Amino acid sequence: MSIKFKEVGYTYSPKTPYQYEALKDITVDIDEHKIVAVIGETGSGKSTLVQHINGLLIPMTGTVSINDFIIKANQKKIRDIKKIRKQIGLVFQFPEYQLFEETIERDIMFGPVNFGEKKDVARDLAKKYIKVVGLDKSYLPRSPFDLSGGQKRRVAIAGILALQGHTLILDEPTAGLDPDGEKELIKLFYDLNHKENKTIILVTHNMNHVLMVADEVIVLHNTKIYKKADPITIFRDQQLIAETGIEPPKVYSFLYKLEAAGFDTSKINARSTSELIEQLEQILAKNDKKK
């Protein structure tokens, strides 16, 4: 499985007074079985980019290919688009607004049934995936509207997971949750990648999460790809931070200060504050020995 963008451009409301060019000349590969973060300021084109990956938006220039399935610019109808949508699940920003069934069970079953599963199979999938998202089956007969914000979001994610696709796109999945809710969701995505081998495409503003779990980072800036690299390379690039308006993760705002004070941070590759403390302690212990 591979997802490739080649010279993709997209303009909203073309040839109207509202015309807006949201993506320009996007050429990038998204590697399978990885956690790929998509970052950039609000309005940089992140949501527009990811909606091309399951055919929700059709490019206006260039091509998007998913394996040997190619979506060409301005293509009117995509054959077999359902196959792509089943394999590549997209969880929108604030997915809880899309819950609509009377029970949680029926909400989770909706996708699988819509994609041709028998009701019994879909019911079993609901049982399985309610657990995967950290709730239990006692929730199934309840109304989704009685849940907390974080729980609603889990139910919406369970509905997409129940399609059992190989790729999961999450557009700002932790926005508006409390820190514990955020942490639990990020752990869920990490586990889906590490235990079930799913490709995870994560649009987020939380750079601490990006540093913690991403294998690759795509930085969008002013409608274009600014850079794609592993998170440590991205956050070491202080010019990128200055030019793109991205707020660095806590670990790196601290490392920049250490560097400015003349401390050699080149050996540090921490992905969390606890790892940073550990690595700093080791460096300090070595320095003590030398003295």
Give me the residues that bind ligand ADP (CB under 6 A), please: 12-13, 20, 22, 40, 42-48
What are the helix (H) ranges across the chain? 46-50, 81-87, 104-114, 119-132, 149-161, 179-196, 207-213, 231-236, 238-244, 250-260, 273-290
CA atoms within 13 A on the CB side of 183: 4
> Six-digit token pair at 158?
């369970």
Q: Any idea what DSSP says for residue 67?
A: T
Amino acid letter for position 100:
F
**Segment near Mg ion (CB under 5 A); pick from 45-53, 61-69, 133-141, 215-223:** 45-53
Residue 245 beta carbon to ligand ADP: minimum distance, rounded to whole angstroms: 12
Kindly tell me which of 20 and 263 has the beta carbon lying closer to ligand ADP.
Answer: 20
Kindly tell me which of 15 and 195 has the beta carbon lying closer to ligand ADP.
Answer: 15
Residue 74, contacted partner among Mg ion, ligand ADP, none, CB below 5-8 A by kind: none
The binder of Mg ion chosen from 44, 47, 151, 164 (CB under 5 A): 47
Nearest to 1, CA basis, from 161, 163, 167: 167
d(CA 150, CA 270): 29
Instruction: Count CB atoms within 10 A of the CB of residue 128.
Output: 15
Kindly tell me which of 22 and 135 has the beta carbon lying closer to ligand ADP.
Answer: 22
Residue 48, contacted partner among Mg ion, ligand ADP, none, CB below 5-8 A by kind: ligand ADP
Kindly tell me which of 133 and 203 has the beta carbon lying closer to ligand ADP.
Answer: 203
Number of residues that bind Mg ion (CB under 5 A): 2
The residue whose Cβ lies closest to Mg ion is 47
Which residues of the shown chain bind Mg ion in the complex (CB under 5 A)?
Answer: 46-47
